[in-house]
A = this chain, B = another copy of it.
Amino acid sequence: MVSLKENINLLSKIATSNQHGENSPYFDGWKAYDQDPFHLTGNPNGVIQMGLAENQLSPDLIEKWIVKNPKSSICTEDGVDQFKDIANFQDYHGLYEFRKAIAHFMGKVRGNRVTFDPDRIVMGGGATGASESLMFCLADPGDGFLIPTPYYPAFDRDLRWRTGVQLVPIICNSSNEFKITQEALESSYKNAIESNIQIKGLIVANPSNPLGTTMDKETLKTLLRFINDKNIHLVCDEIYAATVFNTPDFISISEVLEEMEHPINHELVHIIYSLSKDMGLPGFRVGILYSYNDGVVSCARKMSSFGLISSQTQYFLASILSDESFVEDFLRESSRRLAKRHKFFTQGLEKVGITCLASNAGLFVWMDLRKLMKKPTFDEEMALWRLIIHDVKLNVSPGSSFHCVEPGWFRVCFANMDDQAVDIALERIHAFVKKGKENKVATTKNRKNKPFQKKLRLSFSSRLYDETMLMSPRTMSPHSPFARSPLVKAST
């Protein structure tokens, strides 16, 4: 057997470079969960997975539909007549019925205020594969894409790893609820040019992962004017479009594009979509690239060959998504359940003074634990994260893994578990905070003998933090460094 060193010579730079980004705490947390997964009866003290943005609140709706529609699958007695044709179907355009149904669904999710052309629907292997193909179409190795922080950690893998594209951060922070500004865009662009990086585009996620917020119309217009002025691409990742559970409603870039007062070059605009989040079907690997650029549609379609959606899955989805009445009911009910869960979870956090960025979408909250840290550093954030993973036994994801520039934020997923697991997670958080309070008293008394920082990374019992962490924003002292934080109670 060859050694690792020999393998480095045998394999590619891509294989040996670790540019896949899977060494981030984001993925480490998953490993901790994998080693000791919570189960209500089987392993009630295990780690609860709150690092996975899955939508598991509404599969029962789809299950009911399946039972009523035995013809929707080629693997049933009722549907098997279609088996031969569908199992053989490998055209990289995709089943026309599938493209038509998903284009219509995309319009519905966007309030029917915009329509999508089935002939611009390009299939990809999940949003992951669709995003990578788009990068291959738009940029050469070394080219840069601007991206607002914080952003989805796996973009480092999806967009950069095999394409050689660079991601250039646009710094956003809590002073304006992490919104993208014209100034931040220009500054980031200017810095890139000065560093000799050719900027080919801007990529944004709307609704945002990890923020759970949606962009307002003015921001979207700012983005369009910016990319049009610079003659660079705009990629909008809208895979959480139907997870919007509260006002304001979701506004797609496609809607704003059509109503801009001054002309925007449509060929610069591309949308990434998926059914993983909105329908809770990540296993089905439905990635969609919708581009207003004919050259991109044509090229990306050829690239579809590397990640076509299984025709078995296309057939099923064409059938279910074409059921107007089901789709309407599903979208309404899914949104209602997400709202309910979000409200329950954020109110549970607020009981012990933990707040989150106000949000109206997504399968997660952006939780502010800055008050739990003695110093606003990423070392402290990591120490706190280890405590949460190993002592509190919740797998949440630290802000640093999302390239957030402010330490102390954590993404916490709330839609991938049942009510009982949420109850237990909240109980654990309550106990953690309560214990912190008690320890604070004890530790203050013994401070001279036992400097608290020594054991900071080992266990919660030795951890001290400001009392402000136990207070809701409304009761915080106006002199607290966090008093001017943008955080407000998440409304539902």
Show the binding face of A for B, using Cβ within 8 Å: 1-2, 4, 7, 10-16, 20, 22, 54, 56, 59-60, 62-63, 66-67, 70, 72-77, 80, 83-84, 86-90, 125-126, 128-129, 132, 136-140, 143, 154, 157-158, 162, 231, 233, 265-268, 276, 280-285, 293, 295-296, 299, 302-303, 305-313, 316
Contact = CB atoms under 8 A, between A and B. Distances in A.
Contacts of A157: 302, 305
B310 A10 contact: no
A62 B77 contact: no
A296 B66 contact: no
A310 B306 CA distance: 14
Given A15-B295, A137-B11, A157-B302, A66 B77 contact: yes
> Which of A56, A63, A90, A310 has the most chain B CB within a 10 Å cutoff?
A310
Given A4-B295, A10-B233, A12-B137, 17 more contacts: A10-B295, A12-B140, A13-B140, A15-B137, A15-B299, A16-B295, A56-B88, A62-B83, A73-B76, A89-B282, A129-B305, A154-B305, A284-B310, A284-B312, A285-B307, A310-B310, A313-B313
Contacts of A75: 66, 72-73, 75-76, 316
A293 B11 CA distance: 10
Nearest to A310: B310
Nearest to A128: B305
Nearest to A34: B91
A385 to B, nearest CB: 23
Nearest to A78: B76
A75 to B, nearest CB: 4
A129 B304 CA distance: 9
A75 B308 CA distance: 20
A300 to B, nearest CB: 8
A72 B73 CA distance: 11
A22 B54 CA distance: 38
A74 B73 CA distance: 9
Contacts of A281: 87-88
A310 B316 CA distance: 12
Chain B CB within 10 A, most for which of A2, A10, A80, A138: A10
Given A77-B70, A283-B311, A311-B284, A12 B138 contact: yes
Contacts of A125: 125, 129, 305-308
B309 A310 contact: yes
15 contacts: A1-B265, A10-B231, A11-B296, A12-B136, A12-B143, A20-B299, A56-B84, A62-B83, A66-B83, A67-B80, A87-B284, A128-B306, A157-B305, A162-B162, A312-B316
A309 B296 contact: no
Contacts of A59: 83-84, 87-88
Contacts of A88: 54, 56, 59, 280-283
